Amino acid sequence: MPVASLFRSRLPRLLATALLCTGALAQEGPQMGLRRLELTAGMYRIDAQMALSPQERQIGLMHRKDMPAQEGMLFVFEQPATQCFWMKNTLLPLTAAFIADDGTIVNLADMKPQTEDSHCSSKPVRYVLEMNQGWFAKRGLKAGARLGGAPFAGK
């Protein structure tokens, strides 16, 4: 087979691979394979997926059609900063808990699905935990409550 024909036959696959490697190809489904850890909020257990990389944090809980009550997603940033979240391509109503290094909830924000409204931490934080909307309220958890788990241990 001539080199030009060989290259043309493999071009679509090479291009798709290049796009995947650079992150330029948008993810169309939910990210379900992230690492998990257990967090606690008083007597309540949370099974949290961890969004660690910029791409994992950007996708977040987009495209999820449902999420069990005890599950959530913990967004972990390299350093404390004012963190702002929106709900583009997110189908579930969520509450974001903005969390200090020691696990203390700084503030909570209820977020409507599929909106681009910005919801920000009231002070610099490194962690944001998204849960189904109402999860914190139903358990009486407000700003000042403290979460437990490996990220907050010893702080």
DSSP letter string, the chain:
--HHHHHHHHHHHHHHHHHHHHT-SPP-S------EEEEEETTEEEEEEEE-SHHHHHHTTTT-S---TTEEEEEEEEEEE--EE--TT--S-EEEEEE-TTSBEEEEEEE-TT----EE-SS-EEEEEEEETTHHHHTT--TT-BEESGGGTT-
Task: State the Rg of the chain over Cα.
Answer: 19
List the single range of 15-29, 39-53, 105-119, 138-152 with lowest mean pLDDT. 15-29
CATH class of this structure's domain 27-152: mainly beta
Residue 154 has pLDDT above 90, yes or no: no
pLDDT digit string, tens, across residues 107-149: 999 999 999 999 999 999 999 999 999 999 999 999 999 999 9
User: What tokens does 83 get?
Assistant: 């963190």
Domain extents for the chain? Answer: 27-152
For residue 127, list its beta bridge partners: 76, 99
Task: Name the residue among 144, 86, 77, 148 with its Cα closest to residue 113.
Answer: 86
pTM (2 decimals)?
A: 0.81
118 vs 105: CA distance, rounded Å:
18
